[in-house]
Amino acid sequence: MTAEKADYLVTAHHGDDQLETLMMKFIRSGELHEMRGIQSQRPFADGTLIRPLLPFAKQDLRDYALANNITSFEDQTNYETTVLRNRVRHTLVPFLKQENGQILQNANRFSQQLTALLGQQAQLATTLLPLLDLKVTDKVISGQLKAIKTLPTAQQTAIWQLIIKQHFPQISPLKETQLQQLKQLIQSTVKPQGQLALGQRILFTKIYDRFQIGETTIGEIAAKDEKIRILMLNKWCVLPNNEQIGIFEINHLPRKLSGQQLIWLADEQWPIVAKPCQLTDAIMIDKTHHKTLKRLFIDLKVPQEKRLNSWGIWSQETLIGHPEFRVSALFIHEQTGKIRYVLCYANE
């Protein structure tokens, strides 16, 4: 757009795309903020992206192109059933159209109404923010919890989503499970202090009637125990046993590696930490069975010195493992809502 000095980018998304997207979102999560579907316009770069064809069915556009001798193209990969969208397109969408010929219009209307409703909810949340007495610094948001505890759940949800959107755009909107955990932590009378990972190394910290959200609170974890190391994305972490371990994106892999393993992580599973292993720690070897590290080290014939000086990678209280030995079955398979990373290891 900059090169062409354009103010608008027009795409050819149509009504079938909208219905497919809504069905995919419903299948994958059902999270309300994801159910808005494809928006008719949104900011893009320094201009605006618009989708004027959303009200039209794909077949109507094909018929129009044919009648007016307009050349059109279709990607052959649209027929590969290994892709969820294609399975929805070729099985679910035809069935829905057969049940109701107005299904595409209904999908667009649903998207528009939900977008408007969420916009109104965000406006209400904006008027309620002063109740939290927010203090904003470069990296931390802090405020009072007393007032928000008395608000209806829907209003609490809107406030937290608005804070995340305004101050921590690098993380995704909070999922329903995170919102439930957040509410439980806030309302708990037996747990006056606590923390909750929100994703991308951002933590929510409850301290009696106050809260903090930010990346700086991660350092407090390490400060409490000098044996704990916080892993930063795309950076090596040097361990006391002279090993290096880190989590990297595919396009940021280091050159020299002793071992690597693909892992899948959700935003809320950060922060990831490294800490010394205990022989009684257990790791999942499949979806239902686990094995203690003591038994694993015996099976792998790991030298005694390594057993006593081994470090593992953890997501909160769950052991991810170590690429030299084993990585938990909970993290090595592709899962909806999780991002692919590479757990890397070097001993030189």
Tens of pLDDT along 231-255? Answer: 888 888 888 877 888 888 888 888 8
Q: Are 193 and 215 in contact (CB under 8 A)?
A: no
Sorted by where each begins, the domain ranges of the chain are 8-121, 133-221, 229-346
Q: How far apart are CA 242 and CA 248, in angstroms?
A: 19
Give the CA distances from residue 110 to residues 59, 85, 104, 114, 249, in Å, rounded to whole numbers and listed in that order: 21, 19, 10, 6, 36
pLDDT at 226: 52
Low-confidence ranges of the chain (pLDDT < 50): 216-225
Name 244's bridge partners: 238, 346
User: What is the dihedral angle through the alpha carbons of 166, 167, 171, 173, rounded to the nearest 10 degrees?
Assistant: -40
Question: The domain at 8-121 falls in which architecture?
Answer: 3-Layer(aba) Sandwich (3.40)
pLDDT at 348: 64
Query: In the numeric block, which tokens belong to residue 35?
Result: 């159910």
pLDDT at 2: 82
| Number of alpha carbons in the 13 Å side-chain half-sphere of residue 167 | 23
Question: Pick from 153, 145, 154: which is nearest to 191 by CA?
Answer: 145
Question: Pick from 216, 231, 190, 243: which is nearest to 342 by CA?
Answer: 231
Nearby residues of 300 by Cβ (< 8 Å), 6 or more positions away: 325, 326
pLDDT per residue over 86-102, tens digit each?
999 999 999 999 999 99
Three-state secondary-structure class, residue 8:
strand
pLDDT at 186: 92
Phi, psi of 242, rounded to the nearest 5 degrees: 70, 5
Nearby residues of 61 by Cβ (< 8 Å), 6 or more positions away: 12, 14, 53, 72
Q: Look up residue 54 and give its amino acid.
A: L
In total, the chain counts a number of residues equal to 348
CATH 3.30.465.60 fits 133-221, yes or no: yes
pLDDT at 132: 93
pLDDT at 74: 83
